[in-house]
Amino acid sequence: MIPNFPEPRTRQSASLDRRGLMKLTGAGVTAAAAAALLPTSNAKAQTMTSEWDKVFPRDEAVDHQKVTFTNRYGITLSGDLYRPKGRDGERLAALAVGGPFGAVKEQSSGLYAQTMAARGFVALAFDPSFTGESGGEPRNVGSPDINTEDFMAAVDFLGLHPSVDQERIGVIGICGWGGMALNAVAADKRVKAVATSTMYDMSRVMSRGYNDSVTDAQRAQTLEQLSRQRWVDARNGAPAYGPAANTLKGDEPQFLVDYHAYYMTPRGYHARAVNSGNAWTVTTPLSFMNFPLMTHIAEISPRPILLIHGENAHSRYFSETAYAAAAEPKELVIIPGASHVDLYDRVDLIPFDRLTRFFEEHLA
């Protein structure tokens, strides 16, 4: 899911033509002089709920604990730690799980983490900086650097946890956090294996549009608009926000309908998720424009990569390109008949058996 910002907005005046999502750059971002602002909060630490407010059912075979940890930039991250019951006193292989971009840990990443914990792993799902229950302000801003660091900070936490063997840590990145995962693992040699599911390369899609359709002139126009938006934000002392995510007006491409069907219905809606009708800052794309996440993917080798994607996903080309650029050992698994969003929560399609075998083999 990528942000698209035709005009700044307030929470009370959200409106959106989602067909504009296909025009991510160029005219897709305007720097309105009279920016409407969302109130920001003191985000050094967000209040964590003690309730089970996930969009998936609790597995009684798994222990669950709310945790916090701090990244290299001093931002406190909130997470859900899942551990298999009956394994106290053992040091187990562990997984850091993140994504999708704009989601929270109560959605897909938590489902993946709990499922893998039921299969014998310690698994940590976490909210990225500036979102969900994690700290950082302003709220709802993305950063390829800081979000990559968030994965590394999750590895810090797992490696020091008494139930984890710090030499047996892997990473799972979902959707837009697939690219963050690959970038993090390329740099962080502590991670022994990485898997992605229904991956987006956020830097590529923000800077070049879907299917690399953005022209040089459109890119230059976007950068001009985003740059001038910074003056608007600086004048107002707070960032402007884009339109509400995943609202539909009709005649949208099927993949946008699929996003709505997950994020805006009881199937996957969560009030803290940016993608569930909330909004990114207008300038969120700026740091992604010159930050190609896949530059060093070959440096993950000799550690293994598993890329999983749906046969019918509009985003399938991201995994195919990543696979071509990666060095061995690598594997690309295409799930027959699956769309992009199917791999968020369709447990009948997500290849958990394959993920389990992959990490059992490479975190042995």
pLDDT tens digits for 73-92? 999 999 999 999 999 999 99
State the pLDDT at residue 20: 37
Q: Report the percent of the chain where pLDDT is more than 90.
A: 86
State the pLDDT at residue 47: 85
* SS3 state at 291: coil
Q: Which helix (H) or strand (E) holds 332?
A: strand 330-335
* SS3 state at 49: coil
In the CATH scheme, what architecture does the domain 11-362 have? 3-Layer(aba) Sandwich (3.40)
Least confident of 35-44, 227-236, 273-282: 35-44
Nearest Cα neighbor of 29 from 277, 203, 281 is 281
- Please write the tens of the pLDDT for every residue from 309-318: 999 999 999 9
State the pLDDT at residue 186: 98
State the pLDDT at residue 97: 99
The full set of domain ranges for the chain reads 11-362
Alpha helices (runs of H) in 120-198, residue ranges in sequence order: 144-160, 176-187
What angle (nearest 5°) sits at the alpha carbon of residue 18, between those of residues 335 and 307? 20
Q: Rounded to whole angstroms, how far apart are CA atoms 178 and 200?
A: 6
Q: Which helix (H) or strand (E) holds 63?
A: strand 62-70
Q: Is the peptide bond before 138 cis (omega within 30 degrees of 0)?
A: yes
Reply yes or no on whether the pLDDT at 210 is more than 90.
yes
Give this prediction's pTM: 0.90
Q: With bands split at pLDDT 50, 70 and 90, how would you rate the model's confidence at 300?
A: very high
Beta partners for residue 196, in sequence order: 173, 307
Reply yes or no on whether the pLDDT at 251 is more than 70.
yes
Q: Which residues of 206-236 are buried (b: 16+ CB within 10 A; e: fewer)?
A: bbbbbeeebeeebbebbbebbeebeebbeee
Reply yes or no on whether the pLDDT at 6 is more than 50.
no
**Phi, psi at residue 81, to the nearest 5°?**
-100, 125
Residue with the larger pLDDT of the pair 47 and 346: 346
**Mean pLDDT computed over 219-232:** 98
Reply yes or no on whether the pLDDT at 5 is more than 60.
no
Question: Over the Cα atoms of the chain, what is R_g?
Answer: 19
